[in-house]
């Protein structure tokens, strides 16, 4: 454990074996514990406020702010929380807000994620594993981002939206509904579906047969004249025994009908 003499550890701070804390970093455990797991590197000028629980082998770059209260006018310093998993990279000026009393009171981040400079994660969000936030990508409160999704530069995501697994959101896009798993989307108003994220899926080891099955499901869902319930039934009949299709079906069955999902196709 190496803590620079100019760093400040206030209140309840627990550091695992091999943790390094750089100059002028502030770990503020006065509102609740700050717990940093083994092998984590906290560079200088980082600010972390509790209650924050961080796992192993994370890297936090200068001027990141973790554990600030939700940007909610009704927040009154309640001891809401942040849980961060293992091996995440949090770059310069990233902001991660703790949960609010309007939800479960916690913001949750999984493992092996990469948050590039100036990206923002608001209160009560849930981030999966192997997710990438490119520079300036920002998500509002209560958003879910599922495994292997990529948010490109300066993407903005509206409250309560969900980004499905393996989805790719193009730069400067505005998301105000759910984004389907495996989808490639881009645009401001409206956001449009370009197609299946075939390049990303190939890089992650999906076979041609799996990608063809996903493409077929997208055609049934987005290019037919079927109602959503009819499209789901047809996908189940044709492809429902495939694991990659079950991910899509489970997502579709949990779409909030008041919000819906992005389904407008880009014109050829």
How confident is the model over 39-51, as pLDDT tens digits?
A: 999 999 999 999 9
Task: Evaluate if residue 4 carries a pLDDT over 70.
Answer: yes
How confident is the model over 124-173, as pLDDT tens digits?
A: 999 999 999 999 999 999 999 999 999 999 999 999 999 999 999 999 99
Measured between alpha carbons, how far is 128 from 108 in angstroms, rounded to an integer? 8
Mean pLDDT of 61-88: 95
End-to-end C-alpha distance for the chain, whole angstroms: 57
Task: Return the half-sphere exposure (C-beta side, CA atoms, 13 A cut-off) of residue 199.
Answer: 4
Q: 3-state class of 2 per DSSP?
A: strand
Domain 201-253: which topology?
Udp N-acetylglucosamine O-acyltransferase; Domain 2 (1.20.1180)
39: nearest Cα among 63, 7, 15: 15
Question: Angle at which helices 243-253 and 208-218 pack, to 10 degrees?
Answer: 30
Measured between alpha carbons, how far is 33 from 51 in angstroms, rounded to an integer? 5
Q: Write down the pLDDT at residue 215.
A: 98
Q: 3-state class of 231 per DSSP?
A: helix
Mean pLDDT of 244-258: 97
Q: Write down the pLDDT at residue 123.
A: 97
Residue spans of the domains in the chain: they are 2-142, 201-253
Whether the CA torsion 117, 118, 124, 125 is positive or negative: it is: negative
Residues that are catalytic:
123-124, 141
Task: Evaluate if residue 268 carries a pLDDT over 70.
Answer: no
Q: 3-state class of 135 per DSSP?
A: coil
Higher-confidence residue: 78 or 131? 131
**CA 37 from chain center: how many Å?**
21
For the domain covering 2-142, report its CATH number: 2.160.10.10
How confident is the model over 15-29, as pLDDT tens digits?
A: 999 999 999 999 999
Measured between alpha carbons, how far is 117 from 103 in angstroms, rounded to an integer? 27
User: At which residue do the structure tokens 């047969």 appear?
Assistant: 209
Which residues, at least 6 apart from 11, have a Cβ–Cβ distance to it below 8 Å? 28, 29, 30, 31, 33, 34, 50
Do 201-253 and 2-142 have the same topology in CATH? Answer: no
Task: Evaluate if residue 79 carries a pLDDT over 90.
Answer: no
How confident is the model over 50-59, as pLDDT tens digits?
A: 999 999 999 9
How confident is the model over 96-128, as pLDDT tens digits?
A: 999 999 898 999 999 999 999 999 999 999 999
Alpha carbon separation from 24 to 3, 33, 45, 48, 195 (Å, rounded): 10, 19, 5, 12, 47
Task: Evaluate if residue 194 carries a pLDDT over 70.
Answer: yes
Measured between alpha carbons, how far is 80 from 18 in angstroms, rounded to an integer? 27
How confident is the model over 195-234, as pLDDT tens digits?
A: 999 999 999 999 999 999 999 999 999 999 899 999 999 9
Q: Write down the pLDDT at residue 266.
A: 84
């Amino acid at each position: 454990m190496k803590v620079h003499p100019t760093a400040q550890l206030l209140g309840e701070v627990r550091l695992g074996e091999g943790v390094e804390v750089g100059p002028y970093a502030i770990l503020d455990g006065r509102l609740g514990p700050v717990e940093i797991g083994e092998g984590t590197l906290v560079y200088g000028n980082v600010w972390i406020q509790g209650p924050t629980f961080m796992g192993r082998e994370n890297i936090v770059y200068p001027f990141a702010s973790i554990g600030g209260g939700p940007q909610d006018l009704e927040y009154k310093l309640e001891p809401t929380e942040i849980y961060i998993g293992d091996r995440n990279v949090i770059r310069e000026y990233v902001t991660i807000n703790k949960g609010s009393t309007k939800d479960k009171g916690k913001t949750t981040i999984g493992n092996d994620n990469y948050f590039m400079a100036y990206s923002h994660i608001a209160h009560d969000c849930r981030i999966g594993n192997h997710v990438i936030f490119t520079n300036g990508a920002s998500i509002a409160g209560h958003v879910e981002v599922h495994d292997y999704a990529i948010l490109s530069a300066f993407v903005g995501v509206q409250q309560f939206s969900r980004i499905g697994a393996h989805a790719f959101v193009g730069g400067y896009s505005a998301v105000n509904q759910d984004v389907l798993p495996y989808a490639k989307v881009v645009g401001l108003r409206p956001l449009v579906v370009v197609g299946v994220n075939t390049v990303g899926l190939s890089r992650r080891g999906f076979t041609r047969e799996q990608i063809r099955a996903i493409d077929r499901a997208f055609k049934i869902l987005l290019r037919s004249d079927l109602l959503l319930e009819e499209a789901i039934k047809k996908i189940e009949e044709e492809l429902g025994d495939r694991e990659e299709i079950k991910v899509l079906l489970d997502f579709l069955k949990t779409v909030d009908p008041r919000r819906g999902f992005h389904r407008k196709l880009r014109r050829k």
